[in-house]
Amino acid sequence: MFKKKLATAITVGALSLTGCAAATEGAPAPEAAGPKTSASATPATTGKASAAAAAPKAAAPAAKAAASKAAAPASKIVPAAAVQAPAATPAPAPKPVPSKAPVVVQPKAAPLANTAGATATSGKQAATTLGWGPTVAGDEFSNAGAPDPAKWSVYNGKGHAGKGLRSRDAVTVGGGTLTIKGDAAGKTGGMSAKFARQKYGKWETRMKVAHNDPQYHPVLILWPDNSADAYSGKCWEIDYAEGNNGPGRMSFFNHIACRGNGKVHTYAKNVIDTRQWHNYAVEWSPTKITGYIDGVKWYEDTTPANISNVSMHQTIQLDWFPSGTATTPSQMDVDWVRVYK
């Protein structure tokens, strides 16, 4: 895979690098498609405790979860050679794109800060670093059992591209954390937010990925509220964090065209230890789409034709991309999801 400090943009005729988002039950399934910085960054505590004023947690379970995470061992972004992940398969050469496909301009990006030495509960938030203000919606996962039905629609049906199964019982909440598990047979899960269905805004999610087989893609997506915007016209989709090469890689994908017009996207890829807690954020405005990890920018697209202009919402998915080899059970955990104006 790619090991670049700068984001790269390509045009491709068909997606092979991206994940695919699922739909809520009874709706079409969305398609889902993903930092080393300079010197050391100042560690900053960012778990649920740091955001208590913005989204307070319910008493005992959340306090216990916060204490447990605070005691977690040290984490760091590791160089590619140090990440214990399966060898990445070289990406195929880009396929020709029909002439009617939109032209993609290479997005600009900044390298990520080196957070070596930070604890597992450190890593700055973009919301804090950039002064995004109070949350307008989100979930701290303070309940237990199934995700809050007032906030989420949990998928139940066929998996990505009709393979495997998305099951409600693969998605659970406990100890202040959302967990989605995928088994060896492709039984996995995902869900779609009912809150913050809006055009433009800022989203930030705290996530880690455990036991990540490269055939499982943990992915955080902004998906169109209207299915017509998802499957016709531009087919907008913003995947602001997708692990698609095992535990040592994270990608950002901005999809800007449909199948038949040549699947077109801009993207950034980099090496990060996804097995540790990190804060993934996206800022979407009428003029640009910017991605952050632990408060540091690593992706940006300012090309006017590439900026989605339809109302969207958050999805969280663990998507299965079977390759014909044995699949290892995998898991993704989410500490919180926060939305800002």
CATH number, domain with residue 65: 2.60.120.200
Cα gap 83→73, rounded to integer Å: 17
Give the amino acid at 3: K
Is 317 within a domain? yes
pLDDT exceeds 80 at position 105: no
Is 3 within a domain? no
Beta bridge partners of 8: 267
Ramachandran bin of 262, using left for φ above 0, alpha for ψ from -120 to 50, beta for the remaining angles: left
pLDDT exceeds 80 at position 48: no
Q: What is the band of 212 on the pLDDT scale with cuts at 50, 70, 90? A: confident
Query: How many domains would you assign to the chain?
Result: 1
Is 231 within a domain? yes
Mean pLDDT of 269-289: 94
pLDDT exceeds 60 at position 24: no
Between residues 169 and 246, which one has the greater pLDDT? 169
Is 191 within a domain? yes
Determine the structural domain holding residue 177 and report its residue range. 8-340
Give the amino acid at 318: L
Is 84 within a domain? yes
- Check residue 318 and give its pLDDT: 97
pLDDT exceeds 60 at position 275: yes
Is 141 within a domain? yes
Is 150 within a domain? yes
Is 2 within a domain? no
Give the mean pLDDT of the chain. Answer: 72
pTM exceeds 0.85, yes or no: no
